[in-house]
Chain A
Amino acid sequence: MVAAVLVVVLGSSAVLCLYRIGRGPTTPDRMVGIDILGVLVVGFVSVACIMTGRDFVINIALAWALLSFVGTLALAKHLEGKGFDE
């Protein structure tokens, strides 16, 4: 019951993010949607860790948080018109 509510709420949040990614009038709007969606997925994966009862799933959330942060920084540097190493 609680798991179904969590999946529905987080899934509809992700659909709203996807709406902003698809619709967003400017490129930074889409990048904001990608950033928020990355943080949402971390929460979703940790809910999946409780639901499945398998221990290794929390590692996926940790790795996703790291990769999402690096990806967002790369997108922001691209917006500023710089390379990633500047």
Chain B
Amino acid sequence: MKRRDAAFEDAVRANEDDLLRYFQRRLLNGADAAEAFGELLLTAWRVRRKLPAEPVQARMWLYGVARNVLANSRRTLARRSQAVQRLAAEMRAIIAVPPTDEASVEVRAAIEALAPEDAELVRLVYWDGLKSYEAAAALGINPSTARSRLSVVKRRLRLALSPTATAHLAGE
């Protein structure tokens, strides 16, 4: 195996669980998440020459490709791949479950109401566990911009959430 291909497979192996969860959290349906994950692998493979050598940069590059896959609903490569369809069939019954308590429902609605890039920044940092500079790289924005946006967004979320939701947090 060529060194470039081995580096690509190492990067995918190190991040595959997180990347699949990324799609599960956003698409909920297991088969949809599986197709998106497959499309990510097939797309990234074709442009693997662009994969950064440094592991953190490689991880962010994969998240960037994942974001593009999410934005494009066609999944052309995945739908022609038997291997992807096999994963989709296995994941058909796996549904990501959003918490249904009142506070969580309200928080998700407040995130949805943000500008799309701000909402994705919030999800990347607090749902997917990325550092703010990592999320910035995945979104193609400056790290300091990401930090200041997060600060503004948290203020907006605080204002958007009702007293009921915040009381839930306080255990009242």
A binds B: no
Chain A interfacial positions (CB closer than 8 Å to B): none
